[in-house]
Amino acid sequence: MLRWIVFIVVYLVMGFYALQALKTVTRFPYVYYAFMGLSLLVIGNFVYQFTIGEEAGRVLSRPKSYAFGFLLAMITFKIITIGFLFSEDLFRFLAASYQKFFGGSGEFSLPTRRRFLSLMAMGIAAIPFGALLYGMYRGKYNFQVLKYEMEFDDLPEAFDGYQITQISDVHSGSFDNREKIEYAIDLINKQQSDAIFFTGDMVNNKTDEMKPWADLFSRLKAPDGIYSILGNHDYGDYIPWDTPELKRQNLEELKQLQRDMGFDLLLNESRYLQKGSEQLALIGVENWGRGGFKKAGDLDKATAGVRSEDFKILLSHDPSHWEDVVIHHPYHFHLTLSGHTHGMQFGIEIPGWVKWSPVKWRYKYWAGIYEELGQFINVNRGFGFLGYPGRVGIWPEITVITLKRKSSVAAA
């Protein structure tokens, strides 16, 4: 209870301080009241959703996610506005102190706030505020198809030009628009890839979250199959269960649901994709993550039936597995496909110019293709969303990779 009281008091103080910018910009009282009313509505809804309105058995229900999203937008607006106001107030205080002690007046009188600075503060604060709202309204379903060609010296000739589609981090428990998900499924099929790979986090917590969407994902088609692995959220570790048996049952139901949808779920296993007399090895591990995340992935077990000379594609949900284990393994894994980071669902990307997200402070490999020790990884930015119910700058991703044999490229 104490933390809620402290949080609300701090939030209200921030609101009162930010209100001073409005009072400098306009003299219409209804603007002040509208700002205060909106601010109170946002904090009231947030407190309600996370206390007496909390939905049992879920970490973040849709109402809670939206309550968090609106609060994040409002706090961002206030913090930026306050940053400008505090800087000016510091200057006003120093100016008044100088006037009192060295100006000869003997009085301490603060200069009035400058209207231009308040306007600039609110204008700048409105940019991330609007972006966060847009991310909740449109950005979360702004699906992008990212296409890459990747060249390998030892790719089997029969797989020259082989195309794969990767999706990751569906988080079906967060979906709220069937039409948009149907569009995304059609967009995946439109790529006409030879194989589709899903790299984990089908749900937020429970198998039931996926059931309303299973018929849509069952429409995915690829000549050589659809292959999947588990992510950290698929194990149901982030909610309480009445008994361990219910938790185990939930996981088994999710495994069966994926199979019913036509997914070949790899649980520390491997498969061979065949083209004529040539093949490549597809390996899928369970989740393995650094920093307290579940470590069920067993790379040695998964590669038990794989030869060292095989061309290998590895599906592993968390890119920290690639950094800590995969690239140092005795086997050479030509291409690893991961997800997990979501690109934090927030950042700035201008191809060829800027690629930034706060998630880079936690994950060295957080979005796109990287190379280490002659091995490659693609970190998919995610299909769905979790927590903040939107995306800003880091859009939901469908990755299409065409494998090329380097000698054939040179000959062309």
Q: What is the dihedral of CA 173, 179, 184, 189, to 10 degrees?
A: 120
pTM confidence score: 0.91
How far, in Å, CA of 46 to CA of 178, rounded? 26
How far, in Å, CA of 335 to CA of 288, rounded? 17
pLDDT in tens, the chain (412 residues): 788 999 999 999 999 989 988 888 888 888 989 999 999 999 999 999 988 876 654 567 888 999 999 999 999 999 999 998 888 778 777 766 766 666 656 565 555 667 888 888 899 999 999 999 999 999 999 999 999 999 999 999 999 999 999 999 999 999 999 999 999 999 999 999 999 999 999 999 999 999 999 999 999 999 999 999 999 999 999 999 999 999 999 999 999 999 999 999 999 999 999 999 999 999 999 999 998 899 999 999 999 999 999 999 999 999 999 999 999 999 999 999 999 999 999 999 998 899 999 999 999 999 999 999 999 999 999 999 999 999 999 999 999 999 999 875 444 4
Residue position matching structure tokens 């995610």: 382
By C-alpha distance, which of 121, 158, 133 is closest to 21? 121
How far, in Å, CA of 385 to CA of 197, rounded? 19
How far, in Å, CA of 228 to CA of 195, rounded? 11
Around Cβ 163, how many Cβ atoms within 10 Å?
17
Answer for the pair 367, 158: CB distance below 8 angstroms, yes or no.
Answer: no
DSSP letter string, 300-323: HHHTTT--TTS-EEEE-S-HHHHH
By C-alpha distance, which of 400, 401, 398 is closest to 169? 398
Where would I find the H helices in 209-261?
A: 214-217, 244-260
Around Cβ 196, how many Cβ atoms within 10 Å?
23
Q: How far is CA 190 from CA 75, 187, 398, in A?
A: 41, 5, 11
Pick the CATH number of 143-411 from 3.30.70.2740, 3.30.70.3270, 3.40.50.2300, 3.60.21.10: 3.60.21.10
Output the pLDDT for position 89.
Answer: 77
Laid out side by side, the sheet with 162-167 consists of 144-152, 397-405, 162-167, 195-198, 226-228, 263-265
Around Cβ 301, how many Cβ atoms within 10 Å?
14
Burial class (CB in 10 A: 0-12, 13-18, 19+), 221: middle
Domain ranges within the chain, ordered by starting residue: 2-137, 143-411
* Long-range contacts of 65-69, Cβ-Cβ distance < 8 Å, separation of 24 or more: 65/174, 65/387, 65/388, 65/389, 66/136, 66/389, 67/42, 68/387, 68/388, 68/389, 69/132, 69/136, 69/388, 69/389, 69/390
3-state secondary structure of 379: strand
How far, in Å, CA of 59 to CA of 55, rounded? 8
Per-residue pLDDT tens digits for 337-352: 999 999 999 999 998 8
Around Cβ 151, how many Cβ atoms within 10 Å?
15
